Amino acid sequence: MPFLVLQDRTVFEGEGFGAWPAERGEQAGEVVFNTSMSGYQEIITDLSYAGQILVLTHPQIGNYGWHDEENEADKILLKGLIVRELASGEGSLHADGSLKEFCQEHGIWGLKGVDTRALTRHIRQQGTIPGVLVVGEEDGLQYWKRVENRELNWHPHQHWVYQTTTAESYEIPGKGPFVAVLDCGAKRNILRSLQEYGFRIRVFSVTTPAEEILRARPKALVLSNGPGDPSELPEIVATIRELLPKLPILGICLGHQLLALAAGGETYKLPFGHRGGNHPVQDSRTQKATMTAQNHGYAVREESLAQSGFQVILRNLHDGTVEGMEHTTYPVFSVQYHPESAPGPEENHKIFEDFFHKIGLIG
């Protein structure tokens, strides 16, 4: 019987699908949940989920199949997928296949028939917790007797960002101004959003030195989303610190957190993260609130920004966390949420337009 066992020894049984081994095996990862009601394709292929076991809270997943063009990345670093009911997806006329087939082809361990409501409530009460997908044991208690009290080793030898970034820089043609992207695990829809404005885009690996980016003479820099703890990326923070006074910068999600660290701020881990398409964010300048798409487990500590040069301009209405900041001296701005949506509400796409209009790259 396949099952999920959390680090605190709580067991959730289910039925396996996808890439489970035939007889015995285990797959460890940080267990997180996403509350979006649709968009499972974009969520599963978002590299920000690298190393995690993802719980989708909507009761039926897979009902419109799988559309390859909606993938956010070519590689898949998700460790596992947990759903209540797995639909066949045969009703979609334009599907390239089913969610089940995609998981089989891309090495994703799936677990269906799980009480995802109970599992999500447990994570909300206990906080984000590591877990392991197991097959080949009689039950969870027997599994823990076999492994005794060992801690789950789900951390990679190298930070996940270095596994998600592009191996080599590449260019996306355009007739407009030249914009650089530092790829921390960038979603394709961030790049597509930039393409809509006609920019010529060059995507750089996070290992690229600041001087190499500056030699390319971009008009602006975008820091992308990505996985993991930003405080464990001092080399990237140092690169951004060097670029901060020299280029207009737009930071998104992990890019927002790295900007705060580069300016002397701090980040911290949220109890169970923000993952879903229904997070309200308010602009303190206009008092206007919008619904946002989010996927992150860390946040910027607001009190640490006092001497950073950044002012907080956007806050989460659920818990008051920092959702956006603007530098008082340099043309630098960042958001914690995903303005490109995909999936999620599209009312924040104007962030791109506002930023590039402000720095004079679009009219």
Q: Which two tokens stand for residue 329?
A: 């001296």
Residues 315-332 as b/e (b if ≥16 CB within 10 A, e otherwise) read bbeeeebbbbbbbeebeb
Largest CA distance in the chain: 65
Give the 3-state secondary structure of residue 244. Answer: coil
Going by C-alpha positions, the residue among 258, 295, 264, 298 that lies closest to residue 279 is: 295
Among 30, 253, 279, 326, the one annotated catalytic: 253
Strands (E), 35-136: 52-56, 60-61, 80-82, 85-86, 109-112, 129-135
Measure the CA–CA gap between 181 and 133, rounded to whole angstroms: 35
What are the residues facing 336 on neighbouring strands? none
DSSP string, 158-222: S-HHHHHS-SS-EEE--SS-EEEEEESS--HHHHHHHHTTT-EEEEEETT--HHHHHHT--SEEE
Known catalytic membership, residue 279: no
Is there a catalytic annotation at residue 253?
A: yes
Please identify which of the residues 30, 137, 323, 340 carries the catalytic annotation: 340
Respond yes or no: is residue 103 known to be catalytic. Answer: no
Cα 163 to Cα 91, 96, 158, 258, distances in angstroms: 35, 27, 8, 17
Catalytic positions? 253, 338, 340
